[in-house]
Structure 1
Amino acid sequence: MKYTAPITSPKTLDTSYDMVVIAPSDFQSSLQPLIDEKNTKGVKTTFKSVGDILNEYSGYDPPEQVKYFIKYAYDTWGIKYVMLVGGLKSHINAVDKDTKSAGWKAWWVPVRYVTLPNEDDEGCLCDLYYGCLYNATGGFDSWDSSGDGVYANWGWLGGMRDYFDMYPEVYVSRLPCTTVKEVNVVVNKILTYESTGPAAKPWYKTFIGIGGKTFAYYLGKPDGEYLCDLAYSYTKNAIPDLNQVKVYSTNRDTGGLVPTPQDITKAITQGAGFVDFEGHGAAYAWNTIWFDGDYPTDWCGGVNVYYFPLINNHDKLPVVVVGGCHNALYNITFIAALKDKLDDGKANQYFCAIPSVVCFSWGLVVKPRGGAIASTGCTGYGMGDEDNPVTLSGQLESNFFWEIGNNSVTNLATAHSQAISKYLNENSIQQIDAFVITNWALLGDPSLRFGGYSS
């Protein structure tokens, strides 16, 4: 799959913005201090309510209406970033899908589900959809080229195959807040983080790698530990005096931190600029295998959302990349996850063996005191290759750090989106590639400046 620039040039008007915040009007007053501060920092930002979008723009369904507004904002204002603020309206119970390809009634901001089936994943949440505005011929890219109302279908025999472009024109992330209180938490975190630069954050020069043997050894190392070392080496190009903290399975017999709840929470409590988890996951948990163990029996222990209160890093907030399955599945609610578990014991819809009100990746960001400033994670299976960990999901995660260290990227969603573009440029795209690209979520402020702003 090769990218061809749109043949239609964006229109230009006197009004221009760098970022648009899309959220329900209920959240606007809580978001206004962040919008004001972004404008002060030179990131020209404006607000648009979901209600106004649905009243003013047409489309097949609410997610497409939102996408048409984003296209308008890109064409007329020249936006680079889109911040979606809003998740499910309840943590307790919700019907997250209204059709096979969309959810909106139970959501503050509509969601798109793509149809790229892989094992139990029939269709994953995908915010990349909102950023990919044009197809290769310059037309609006609906991601439903067949016109059958099933979006991004590649592999589901009940509908026609779709052809869609995955190169993002705008860089999108989501803060899937449920309540105004949660909006206040993340806004205050971002304002505090960006109020000072790296020089005022000695902890920012710490990189925490957390891993073990996901599947196999690679170049003499457990593959998860290899990916963490690679990510550190890339990031060190941008931060030459970066310190590496290894929370590795290979430390078990030689001393040092290992991937257990006690040591993971202890490491993050000290503060860090970046944390890289590389292993296995579920919606509520992350784990990995001992260096001398076998999958899927010899687990290190990992960590789950119920241990997050033990993370006491206060304002020393890292950007967290989470390699594993379903860690960013932000459509979970407690009762829906419980019913899923009780139905057949497999928990194969919400992937929560222990029901939770938040997923792992979002739980770190929305944690009131400490946790993370932003996170990535998969809304479906994280995929890898036993013969080479720098493939599929592992390649996307490595690309994120490559963009920071080798391409001088300084903002969150730029690193994430350009990591996707790099993947597309370097691979012949098959269905499994589209699967991992579309389910790789970004949770945070898309315009976030790594390390904050120096005064």
Structure 2
Amino acid sequence: MHKIVFISFYILLIILLPIFIFSYTEIIDNGELNLSVYKNYTKIRIEKFHIFGGYGEPELPYRDLIIRTDNADFAETFKCHILDSIVYKNIKLSPAQRALPINSKKTGTGFLYNDSSYNIDGYLPDDLIEMKGIGKIRGKRYAKIIFSPFRYYPKENKLIYYKTIEFESPGEFNIITNFKERANSDKGILYITDTIYKNALDTLLLLKKIEGYNPIIRTTQFIYNNYSGNNNPDKIRNYIKTLVDSGILYIVLAGDVNTIPTRYAFAMESGGGSWQDNIPTDYYYGDIDGNWNANGNLVYGEIEDSIDMLPDFYIGRLSFNSIAELNDIINKIYIFEKGDYSIPNCKILSNAGMLDSYTDASVGLDTILSYVPDYFQKSVLYDNSTNNVYLGEFMDSLNGGFNYLIHSNHGSTQGFSIGQDIFHNNDADILNNVNNIPNVTYTISCISAAYDEDCMGEHFLRSTNGGGYYIGNARYGWYIGYYSGASASDIMQKSFFEDLFNDDEYTIGELISLTRLKYAPSASMENCYRWMEYNLVLMGDPSSYMRTKPLKDFIVNYDSIISTGLNNIEVEVRDENIPIEGAIITVFKSDSLLVKGFTDISGKTLLSLLSEGNDTLNINVFKNNFRLYSNKLFHGNKELRYLESYIIDNNDSNFNPGETDTIAIIVKNYSDSTFYNLNFILNCNDSFVSINDTIVFVSQIDPSMLDTLYYEISISDTVPYDYLFYTYFEYNGGILKDSIASVILKGKAEICQKSYSISAIPASVGLTVKNTGNGYIESEYLHFIPVDNEITITPDSLLIENLYPEDSIYLYINID
């Protein structure tokens, strides 16, 4: 951002000061045009831009901008200047196609072309920039702008592209590109439920405290008795309005609509009748500015109701009708957030079909898959003219433990199409995911999340041994004929996954709210974007972080012995040798939080803990993409302390498979007295590790003196790569260190060149062998097996010895 200060002759300065003292600018480079030919027309696409459905008129991309400003006159004073333009001639833009609901198989409406729109004398669009109003997010002002940086002259087949634009305002402003609540602050969660379910939520609230949140519960009975409103949804919303400055960011509606009522809103006429156009929307509780009924006609959500469409809170619904169903949902959340599963967690399944005879939904989903990192296993089930997808294959895939399912096909309250079959509600009930790993499903199918009826989203959420989080539509989802992946439903689905894999620290509620925020300017008009703002449903806890990397285990170091009174405990959290910043450390006595901290850039935090008794305390470490770490703090004698440990071997000072190495543990006497006749015991319960003699006897340790104890540890040669194990250390029955983390580093001998060209046989071939693992190779054989029985390789095995990571050796084999 650049500040321009006007300075002139001091007499003129007095006159001009109110107008010209400050001007703020931001420059946007809109990027390169992606031009492609479709049916003899030129189709334009640009990153971060989208199109609207139409009826055959020339199609131009638009971009939505959200601008943070405190300037009350921003809408009147905001300007733009063109800095760079490109002229394209002989361009006949592709005609906009109609947005259609994804409710049933269609034969198609035919390719639309409006001849009169291509023969106007002027240009399109009428305005380069349209101001769509000023709104607020928790009291802060944001401007909503939609712009299309083009002038298209259809009669001349000429297109002018304004590639670089400067925005200007007398007051300071900021174009939002990343809207996050990322500070290590006390982020709050409000759970709203009926009194009969309040106690059943206690275990979920404890988990949220461990994750660093401040959760609270309010019952509908409390809200209805203490807050005013014309009806119960009004009362709930009026209570939520009081929480703007409370730290609450997440709202969880814990119950079906019979327990937590919803609001119905009108976005536009869909052509599907009053039931479709009357959209149940929990977003009523998330966008709290205004009353959604400004004109007083009791039709909520109309353009005339002046809704700013900006999310103040992150909303999700746990839809259940019994404590048993709630327990199934909580169990899924626990498994997902604690990382209580061992199979690979980076898997995504994409399922799509033909939305009509000319629109293949898989084209749009392939774009989403391009955002997904390569370390994810990407699987596709696409039903089209060359491949058919059936229910058995789909169910087997879901049960195989996919983290994410992206889906684009037709749907109803009873399920959605997966190709040749329907995935019905009762199919979701009997899902049996591997290790019960919860899945996150995002579907743009119609009404499969119509939570005011019995729907797929609810069955998926409640499934006892499968299912998981569900993002879907309460009414119609939309597609644009011929242009797969271009509708409001498609764009918002893409936005969710693009943002997800751009950052490791998004919750599912943040992602959905960010998607709503991005397209709030477009949603300020009657169109599919407004429809989708109301229509999008999250079945699940919005505060759950989304996995983006393979789950890992923390290495956590701290003094696990505490004493009565004040304890200053330094906790260090690492990913192997890399400090972890922003890990959340909590200490509990039973379910009462005693202290909370966040690790700094060095991976450390200092906890000041006041302990008033001899109870064992629980310490937890949480951060996304890691398994939850939970252990104990013990009351004991702090005068004799564990200091540190290190490994003694003959090579790389690390534990390696098949080795017997020594771990040295240093203890110190901090007291004024001598300790006598000490039995120091090191134990480990890991099957890959054995301690040859677990007890070391020390006759005495004098005041302020150190002693070093040595234990031989044998490592199995079948241990997995880079394996983490823990030992615990005690003396005379008292704990000195409850968790000593060690990593077994395994070497891996690989031939650098995978193929060789041999002009004649016999031949001698030189091989470069490199240790590509993280550990030392003391002794390992490479074996050679010819695939051709007429070829002999000698020697048929080569011994690799004493090879450090990244080092190479050169060896020869003979081929006859």
**Shorter-chain TM-score category?**
0.7 to 0.9
How much does 1:55 deviate? 0.8
1:371 matches 2:467: yes
- Map of 2:446 onto structure 1: 325
Query: Cα distance 1:149–1:16, how it changes in 2: closer, same or farther (>3 A)?
Result: farther
Task: Give the corresponding residue for 1:335.
Answer: none
Tell me the percent identity: 21
Q: How does 1:337-416 map to 2 (within 5 A)?
A: 358-372=454-468, 374-388=469-483, 389-416=485-512
CA contact (8 A) 1:399 1:423 kept: no
Paired position in structure 2 for 1:83 = 252
Q: Provide, for residues 100-128 of structure 1, a one-character-per-residue CA deviation record: whole Å limited to 9, x for no partner.
A: xxxxxxx1111101123422213011011
Name the stretch that deviates more: 360-369 or 398-407.
398-407
Partner of 2:116: none
Aligned equivalent of 2:284: 129
Secondary structure in structure 1 of the residue aligned to 2:348:
strand
The residue aligned with 1:351 is none
2:347 is matched with 206
* Alignment match, 1:234: 371
In the other structure, the counterpart of 1:278 is 408
Give the deviation of 1:425 after TM superposition: 4.8
Amino acid in structure 1 at the alignment position of 2:452: N
Contact 2:522-2:530 at 8 Å conserved across structures: no
Please list, as runs of the form range in 1=range in 2, the aligned pairs for 1:59-98 lying within 5 A after superposition.
59-75=229-245, 77-88=246-257
The change in CA–CA distance for 1:426 and 1:151 in structure 2 (over 3 A counts) is closer
- Deviation track 1:30-77 (CA, whole Å, cap 9, x = no partner) reads 1111011101110111111111011111112111111111111223x1
Provide the residue aligned with 1:55 in structure 2: 225
Name structure 2 gaps, 5 residues minimum: 1-131, 142-184, 548-623, 630-816
Task: Specify the code of the residue in structure 2 equivalent to 1:111.
Answer: T
Match of 2:654 in 1: none
Which structure is higher in helix share?
1
* Aligned mates of 1:369, 1:204 — CA distance in 2: 17
Which of 542, 554, 559 in structure 2 is aligned with 1:446?
542
TM-score, scaled to structure 1: 0.76
1:246 equivalenced with 2:364 (yes/no)? no
Query: Structure 2 length normalisation: TM-score?
Result: 0.43
Q: Is the CA contact (8 Å cut-off) linking 2:416 and 2:422 kept in structure 1?
A: yes
Equivalent residue runs for 1:286-301 within 5 Å:
286-287=416-417, 300-301=420-421
Is 1:163 aligned to 2:306, yes or no? Answer: yes
Q: Distance in 1 between matches of 2:510 and 2:356?
A: 30
C-alpha distance in structure 1 between counterparts of 2:442 and 2:436, whole Å: 18
Q: Higher relative CO (CA 8 A, sep ≥ 6), structure 1 or 2?
A: 1
Over 3 Å counting, the alpha-carbon distance change for 1:65 and 1:246 in structure 2 is: same
SS at match of 2:372: helix
- One-letter amino acid of the counterpart of residue 286, structure 1: F
Runs of 4+, deviation exceeding 4 Å: 6-10, 425-428
For structure 1, the residue ranges without an aligned partner over 5 or more in a row are 89-106, 135-140, 155-160, 290-299, 333-357
AA at the equivalent of 1:234: Y
Alpha-carbon separation, structure 1, partners of 2:366 and 2:544: 24
Q: Label 1:168 to 1:9 Cα distance change in 2 as closer, same or farther (>3 A).
A: closer
Deviations 1:245-272 (A, max 9, x none): 111114x746xxx532111101101011
Q: Root-mean-square deviation (CA), in Å? A: 2.4
Instruction: Give the deviation of 1:437 after TM superposition.
Output: 1.8
Contact 1:266 1:311 in 2 (8 A): no
SS of 2:447 mapped into structure 1: coil
CA shift in 2, pair 1:170/1:7, >3 Å: closer
Match of 1:342 in 2: none
State the 1:234 CA deviation.
Answer: 2.0
* Distance of aligned partners of 1:216 and 1:253 in 2 relative to their CA distance in 1, 3 Å threshold: closer
Structure 2 counterpart of 1:113 = 264
Which has more radius of gyration?
Answer: 2
Give the Cα separation in 2 of the matches to 1:18 and 1:50.
19
3-state secondary structure, aligned to 1:233? helix
Secondary structure of 1:73's partner? coil
Instruction: Give the Å deviation of 1:204.
Output: 2.0
Q: CA separation in 2, counterparts of 1:39 and 1:68?
A: 26
Cα distance in 2 for residues equivalent to 1:20 and 1:427: 27
SS of 1:204's partner is coil
Alpha-carbon contact 2:191-2:253 (below 8 Å) kept: yes
Matches within 5 A, 1:297-308: 300-308=420-428
Q: Which position in structure 1 is the counterpart of 2:331?
A: 188
Alignment CA distance shift 1:52-1:310 (3 Å): closer
Structure 1 residue 424: Cα displacement: 2.4
- Is contact 2:416-2:448 (8 Å) kept? yes
Aligned to 1:176: 319
